[in-house]
Structure 1
Amino acid sequence: MSRHDDIKLLRVNYLRGPNMWTYRPVLEVWLDLGGLEDHPSHLLPGFNERLTTALPALIEHHCGVGERGGFLQRLQEGTWMGHVLEHVVIELLNLAGMPTGFGQTRSTSGRGVYRMVFRARDEQVARCALAEGHALLMAAINADAFDVDAAVTRIRDKVDDCYLGPSTAAIVAAATDRRIPHIRLNEGNLVQLGHGARQRRIWTAETDMTSAIAEGIARDKDLTKSLLKAVGVPVPEGVAVKSPAEAWEAAEDLGLPVVVKPSDGNHGRGVTLDLKKREDVEAAFHVADKEGSEVLVERYIPGNEHRLLVVGGQVVAAARGDEAWIVGDGKHTVRELVDQQINTDPRRGLTEDFPLNRITLGEDPVVLLDLQRQGVTPDSVPEAGQRILIQRNGNVAIDCTAQVHPDVARAVSLAARTIGLDIAGVDLVATDIAKPLAETGGAIVEVNAGPGLLMHLKPAEGMPQPVGQAIIDHLFAEDESGRIPIVGIAASQGGNHISRLVAWLLHLNGRHVGLACSDGLFLGPRRVDRINGGRWDAAHRLLMNRGVDAVVVENSAASVLDHGLAYDRCQVGVVTDMGGLGQLDEHDIRTEDQLFKVLRTQIDVVLSDGAAVLNAAEPRLVEMAELSDGEVLFYALDGSNAALAAHRAKGGRAVFLQGGAAVLAQGASETSGANLDTLLARFARAGLPTDAGTLLAAVATAWALNISPELISAGLDTFVPELAQ
């Protein structure tokens, strides 16, 4: 069969925010099918069979048919390769553990050229999936070999490199459930929750409320223990030692058995338990000495290791550990038995996706020391029936939240408060966590800052706990959303004047305003950058600024097409006109219907307690009113405008011009507001001609923000346009 040339990827653009396709980030790809435009799927011999053999789960794709097998039906009927690539990429993402269900492919005005988009939480992952999907599709078209498993592995590796860790992802997901926006601040797990002055920050399970002093105390286990002991929290007796000989001397003083551990280690590294012999204590000293700056010897507390998560002073989750054993068969070595009897557990693995760690003998000196104490090595062959202890701790993944005794919870909460941590992982040893510590002889052995959440999110046994939700509820009160008022303004002309006026009125209303518009970037009345600020990155800078409690953003149609909106939702969305079509040819936006889909983005994101401000003199903008989740406020120069009058008849708010002044009306009620003629004259004297419609849009926007008519009038009287440069 004849070979087909590769589909050309003409343009690949990541839309970071709400866009003409969807509310969420997508990767937009412009494709040139070339000769394949004449070869839809049903005209390529064997193509459908090769593709579905490579990706059998394509049968689950509903496509536009709306039912299982819908996409396969489209393949059989004949569909073009841009649409096929969309589904191939989505399926590869599904296989790589980054599920997505959204994708669209649409033709452009150029023959064989399509725009294909798919949901993309991370740009680098999306680009990787696109490259692999493109290669797989061309292999299926040309009957070439392709290793799907290897492609999925490469995408999964990119996901592991780029996506949030499971603890951070759980917190972000809980924030999303409460409609709290988030911004990722680095390539790791530093995330901003909320906007501007109402933001909070997390770094995995640490927050901007986590004290640096408390973190320092938690790292020093000896200091932690002395503070806990002072407030009556049970802790094991212990001392710091500087040599193996001192370790044994301390063990004899404390009474055997003992525990030897580093003073500032974590994740259980270097901790050896239940030591009774001098040689074992001295060997354990060397293991601990490599993990921390100081070595501690403590009285051994019998029982299971537990991890309790404290958030805001409350115990919200608890997990119990279990020992790992093997049983000899007289044939296999200890190393082989570990792989056969322990590592075959599907809950064990090397990544954070697994609640239990895979045990690799030789990598953990504590495990090797425990084997030595039992008289075996990794290469020993235990007798049939002989039980060998492999790991005493490190398997804390059995949920026991419901079993925690109130007295235990009080002690653990007190421990976290004593150290000063708002979020803490408290390690406790007890034979039965359902009984008071005084009754079981249990004790708290560590308090950790920045605890991992995976054991509570994905326990090896028991129910997952909503720890992400607990952290979000700790950071934000029930009535808090982390949001500040955001105003988004879409105008082909005069958008900078509307933006400047609205920012001025918000400033007079007592707000610390950030403004991003074509005149530059402003913080309050101060311009901090003269470069065109009507861009995604400029608006994003304002949303990250802790000193800002209101943001005004000018959004051109081109910026929405290039980047999407910088925010997920806004308090007020403004669209003034349907102009600017001739400036969007590079985006293949050539008709009013296409422009409507772009501009509606600004109205689609209005919050339910917000408002859309629309020009009633533009019939297509009147159509947008039904897209707003919040209130609709119309404005027009002519107070008798039919759409405006009908809106008022239903009790809606409207602004119109009468005798040179803006009139603010709701239903039959009318309030005469700002004098626009004098402000128009000031704009003209400054060499910045504008029109009454632009000023009305600003008045309507300010009223939509519930700024009083009196303040609006005073604000327009005091606004001074800058002289044209």
Structure 2
Amino acid sequence: MTDIPLTGGRPTADLRIVETRVYRGANIWSYDRSVHLVVDLGRLEEFPTNTIPGFTDNVLQMLPGLREHTCSRGRRGGFVERLNEGTWLGHVAEHCALALQQVVGHDIRRGKTRQVKGKPGHYNVIFGYVDEQVGLAAGQLAVRLVNHLVEADPDFDWEAELEAFIKRAQRTAFGPSTQAIIDEAVSRDIPWIRLNKHSLVQLGQGVHAQRIRATMTSETSSIAVDIASDKDLTTRLLSAAGLPVPKQDSVRTADQAVAVANRIGFPVVVKPLDGNHGRGVCLDLLTDDDVREAFEIAREQSRRGSVIVESFVTGKDYRCLIIDGRMVAVAERVPASVTGDGTSTIEELVDLANADPRRGVGHEKVLTRITVDDAAIERVRDQGFEMTSTPDAGVTVKLALTGNMSTGGISIDRTFEAHPENVEIAEEAARMIGLDIAGIDFICPDITQPVRETGGAICEVNAAPGFRMHTHPTIGEPQFIAKPVVDMLFPPGATSRIPIVAVTGTNGKTTTSRMISHIFKGMGRKVGMTSTDGVVIDERLTIRADASGPRSARMVLQNPRVDFAVFEVARGGILREGLGYERNDVAVVLNVAPDHLGLRGIDTIEQLADVKAVLVEAVPRDGHAVLNADDPLVRAMRRRCSGQVVWFSMDEPGSEAREMIDAHCRRGGKALILAPSERGEMIVVKHGRREMQLAWTHLLPATFGGKARMNVQNVMGAAAAAFAAGAPLHDIRQGLRTFSTNYYLSPGRLNEVEVNGVNVLVDYCHNAPGMRALGDFVDRIGESLAHDLARPSRIGVIATAGDRRDEDMRDLGRVAAQHFDVVIVREDQQLRGRQRGEIAELVAEGVREAREGGARCKQVEIILDEIDAVRHAMSRANRGDLVVVCVDQHSRVMAELEDWSNQAQAGSASNDDLPLADPDFVPPAEG
């Protein structure tokens, strides 16, 4: 490490978090989910770790796991070396956050710390996470810990803070059963999404999605669950199938319970009709008084107030796990107990057992802590002891009657010892109840012997049985029972993912996304699409909002109708949350131009290109990146792609882009190019040395006879994406031939309407690069428009978003002035931090500057309200003129234009009745 000058003095606890972000997918820092903290070191920038006495020893004492961190050295202990040599405390906070997550069992090792450019003492601290809330809490506690080690805080109790952190992690963690299924799904590359704060999880995407809640699945029958919950009905069904079950009856009063017990014969068991986890179960009852007392205990745990009285079957307690009709595991359940050592009391033995790190509260760990309640004390007394008694060495004292894991019991794996006849009985019981995943409880002397011969019986059938007694047995080999669950939901060879095409770029994203969606809709696919207009599911707009972010993408992936996804991905969403998914099969990058610079640390166009390249980095080895070869910044993204690159280019033969494409195709690559001829331009698909004609550009409605060059680019990007996604050429051709920029297929994107002889274009253009493309189109069609008196005039209604830089706003005005005779500047409804009128004035400044330089524009006006600006533009236009409206709320604008047309047709406001406007006239006030 390079020595840095110190200003003297002592370090103070100045480390603080300036900004927090959570990336829920691939992002500019990492390929996976990450927490991003921007921290300010303050004076600690002057104090690396080797200048703070005792810092390294103290942090290693509090978090011993840091000794295992390799850091950049790539070997165990690498981070300790960095601490001893001297590293900055932002880097230490990163590793502490990782170590804290490792304490709670989250195997996370991804992290990096980088200085914020231009801000001394500020650092970007990035680290991975499994659970979002745990990751955030780890980052916050790591910063507090570092500050405490720099300058002791008397209010900071490390042991208490660590315990609170562990408990918080346990509250949000999946249970052992859910986690086992998720781990198996991940190992098979099946994506998953947590749908709530508990155990509801979606495996797979779209039409292939399956849901689980603990060990209940999408295939679990609700009727079967109801039957299993009714123990009386369960027993009657099993008995009707000839399966061994105890004699029983359901009762609602204590007198009825006594009567049933006397009828079936003592000893008996009393338990709630619809209980679970062994709560309220009383065994081996020998007298009427025992039955009356047990009835009250069982009724408290019964949701419907009914209680079961059944004959007591003696033997050991076994749980047979049946998945998809087959037995996959058997465990012997031993009730909670302690074994005497001759010196410790029963109470001390319980504390010693609960100190086992495998024991926790409820189902949070593989074993549950033994709870000493009144029932446990009574059970101890029945065996002749008190809690303060000291049993002899080797003497076992039971604290519960049932062997449920939830009451502190242990399990012994007996999977390969079960007799085949017993296995057959358990499988038949699951089929009779109708459960896809069932826990069959046997009571019998020995599971290795047929229960029909030894006198055993099925005492319960459980829906949603816990897995931890099988995956983490106290004694014996663990059984990997999550595999048959995932096999049931996703049989070998079944698909769990839907194809994802993601589109980004400075301009053209929405139109290209709509084109791709239209192509695949024509092929019969149920397409889910996100764009700046909203979320569209199978041609229905389900959410009207700017849906180009990660949350909207996840909404599409959760929809069970969708079998193909097309995502418009904007810069803002990537910077805010990353991608909303793990990877995309096809990434399309149309262009990179200056826009939204100066936001979230993106100050240059090269940095903006890095943001958009996240989509390319999210392409798997069997995926494709569709890149615009004409854009140098997009061209450079090919190095970040793990899959294949499909190029598209509008450049002439002999250009740098075309030469690169030719070399690419000679190596067997794919590309789309424009082949000019006397008849027009032909889009040609190249695959290796083969060339296939796709379509004439001038015959595609969206290109306006080839004049809308930006849409020619969008068409090529869409065609290349569809080709990469496996669409046949004839389907691509048909999709492009039937896609037009009418308002129904492409609202707000180059919609052409005629209002009383005035040609109107409605588009979303909001930045200077987009205005150049739109202006080129206006120039191409402007002179061809018919006009009886003179050349047609062009009126532009323009605006931009408030989060652009001042110079970007002026640049929009400069470009617009080159293409319009009259520029009317309006403002969006959302000003994004600007004052009303400020944006319009900056744009107008650019127009005036261009006018002084000889631009086409002769007049600029400011009308802030969008509808007022549209009305003013239409009132100024003559027949044959061209009005271009750059919209914010396209539906309101189109409704206004329709009203304008209807009023004229009704005779109330026709152009013949209006005075002819002169757009070249400059009023004296404009000067």
Instruction: Give TM class, smaller chain.
Output: over 0.9
1:375 to partner: Cα distance? 5.6
- 8 A contact 2:175–2:364 mirrored in 1: no
Corresponding residue number in structure 2 for 1:361: 372
Task: Say how many residue pairs are matched.
Answer: 720
Amino acid of the residue matched to residue 537 of structure 1?
R
Amino acid of the residue matched to residue 146 of structure 2?
L
Work out whether 1:695 is the aligned partner of 2:715: yes
How much is the aligned-residue C-alpha RMSD, in angstroms? Answer: 2.6
In 2, Cα distance between the equivalents of 1:249 and 1:539?
62
Corresponding residue number in structure 2 for 1:116: 125
1:158-237 matches, within 5 Å, as: 158-237=168-247
In 1, Cα distance between the equivalents of 2:184 and 2:342?
51
Counterpart of 2:613 in 1: which secondary structure? Answer: helix
1:333 to partner: Cα distance? 6.1
- 8 A contact 1:492–1:579 mirrored in 2: yes
1:615-630 matches, within 5 Å, as: 615-630=628-643
Q: Structure 1 stretch 654-663 or stretch 515-524: which is displaced more?
A: 515-524
Work out whether 1:311 is the aligned partner of 2:328: no
Work out whether 1:81 is the aligned partner of 2:101: no
Change (3 A) 1:193 1:46: same
In 1, Cα distance between the equivalents of 2:529 and 2:106?
36
Corresponding residue number in structure 1 for 2:111: 103
Amino acid of the residue matched to residue 143 of structure 2?
H
Corresponding residue number in structure 2 for 1:131: 140
1:264-663 matches, within 5 Å, as: 264-292=274-302, 293-325=305-337, 334-336=346-348, 338-339=350-351, 342-343=353-354, 347-363=358-374, 365=375, 367-371=376-380, 373-374=382-383, 378=387, 388-393=397-402, 394=404, 395=409, 397-580=411-594, 582-591=595-604, 594-638=607-651, 641-659=658-676, 660-663=681-684
Counterpart of 1:634 in 2: which secondary structure? Answer: strand
1:108 to partner: Cα distance? 1.7
Counterpart of 1:583 in 2: which secondary structure? Answer: coil
Residue-by-residue CA offset, 1:173-207 (whole Å, 9 max, x unaligned): 11111111111111111111111111111111101
Change (3 A) 1:301 1:186: same
Q: 2:161 aligns with which of 134, 151, 155?
A: 151
1:86 to partner: Cα distance? 0.7
In 1, Cα distance between the equivalents of 2:485 and 2:140?
38
- 8 A contact 2:586–2:626 mirrored in 1: yes
Residue-by-residue CA offset, 1:62-107 (whole Å, 9 max, x unaligned): 1101112211221222221211111122122222333321111111
In 1, Cα distance between the equivalents of 2:605 and 2:447?
68
Amino acid of the residue matched to residue 652 of structure 1?
G
1:696 to partner: Cα distance? 0.8
Change (3 A) 1:144 1:371: closer
- 8 A contact 2:442–2:460 mirrored in 1: yes
Change (3 A) 1:436 1:105: same
Corresponding residue number in structure 1 for 2:920: none
Q: Structure 1 stretch 68-77 or stretch 672-681: which is displaced more?
A: 672-681
Change (3 A) 1:487 1:190: same
- 8 A contact 2:328–2:481 mirrored in 1: yes
In 1, Cα distance between the equivalents of 2:462 and 2:354?
28
Work out whether 1:22 is the aligned partner of 2:34: no
Corresponding residue number in structure 2 for 1:13: 21
Amino acid of the residue matched to residue 139 of structure 1?
H
Task: Compare relative contact order (CA 8 Å, sep 6+) and give the higher one, 1 or 2.
Answer: 1
Q: Structure 1 stretch 460-469 or stretch 348-357: which is displaced more?
A: 348-357
1:550 to partner: Cα distance? 1.0
1:496 to partner: Cα distance? 0.9
Counterpart of 1:539 in 2: which secondary structure? Answer: helix
1:274 to partner: Cα distance? 2.2
Amino acid of the residue matched to residue 145 of structure 2?
L
Amino acid of the residue matched to residue 26 of structure 2?
P
Residue-by-residue CA offset, 1:451-509 (whole Å, 9 max, x unaligned): 11111121111122112222111101111232111111121111111101000001001
Q: Structure 1 stretch 256-265 or stretch 239-248: which is displaced more?
A: 239-248
Q: 2:149 aligns with which of 140, 152, 159?
A: 140
Change (3 A) 1:405 1:600: farther
In 2, Cα distance between the equivalents of 1:114 and 1:346?
37
- 8 A contact 2:13–2:150 mirrored in 1: no
Q: 1:36 aligns with which of 44, 49, 53?
A: 44
| TM-score (structure 1 length as normaliser) | 0.93
1:398 to partner: Cα distance? 1.3
- 8 A contact 1:334–1:378 mirrored in 2: yes
Change (3 A) 1:24 1:329: closer
Amino acid of the residue matched to residue 286 of structure 1?
E
| TM-score (structure 2 length as normaliser) | 0.74
Counterpart of 2:520 in 1: which secondary structure? Answer: helix
- 8 A contact 1:280–1:373 mirrored in 2: no
In 1, Cα distance between the equivalents of 2:64 and 2:359?
28
Amino acid of the residue matched to residue 90 of structure 1?
L
Question: Where do 5+ consecutive residues of structure 2 fail to align?
Answer: 1-8, 744-750, 752-761, 763-889, 891-927
- 8 A contact 1:265–1:291 mirrored in 2: yes
Counterpart of 1:23 in 2: which secondary structure? Answer: coil
In 2, Cα distance between the equivalents of 1:61 and 1:384?
44
1:370 to partner: Cα distance? 3.4
Counterpart of 2:560 in 1: which secondary structure? Answer: coil
1:436 to partner: Cα distance? 2.1
1:528 to partner: Cα distance? 3.2
In 2, Cα distance between the equivalents of 1:665 and 1:32?
52
Counterpart of 1:106 in 2: which secondary structure? Answer: strand
Q: 2:694 aligns with which of 655, 673, 677?
A: 673
In 1, Cα distance between the equivalents of 2:673 and 2:716?
7
Counterpart of 1:403 in 2: which secondary structure? Answer: coil
1:116 to partner: Cα distance? 0.7
- 8 A contact 2:113–2:123 mirrored in 1: yes
Counterpart of 1:281 in 2: which secondary structure? Answer: helix
Larger radius of gyration: 2
In 2, Cα distance between the equivalents of 1:464 and 1:294?
37
Residue-by-residue CA offset, 1:25-51 (whole Å, 9 max, x unaligned): 111011122222222222334433333
1:620 to partner: Cα distance? 4.7
Counterpart of 2:334 in 1: which secondary structure? Answer: coil
Corresponding residue number in structure 1 for 2:726: 706
In 2, Cα distance between the equivalents of 1:15 and 1:333?
52
1:378 to partner: Cα distance? 4.5
In 1, Cα distance between the equivalents of 2:147 and 2:476?
46
In 1, Cα distance between the equivalents of 2:188 and 2:535?
30
Counterpart of 2:112 in 1: which secondary structure? Answer: strand
Counterpart of 1:67 in 2: which secondary structure? Answer: coil
1:518 to partner: Cα distance? 2.0
Q: Structure 1 stretch 280-289 or stretch 445-454: which is displaced more?
A: 280-289
1:698 to partner: Cα distance? 0.8
Work out whether 1:718 is the aligned partner of 2:738: yes
In 2, Cα distance between the equivalents of 1:179 and 1:217?
35
Counterpart of 2:106 in 1: which secondary structure? Answer: coil
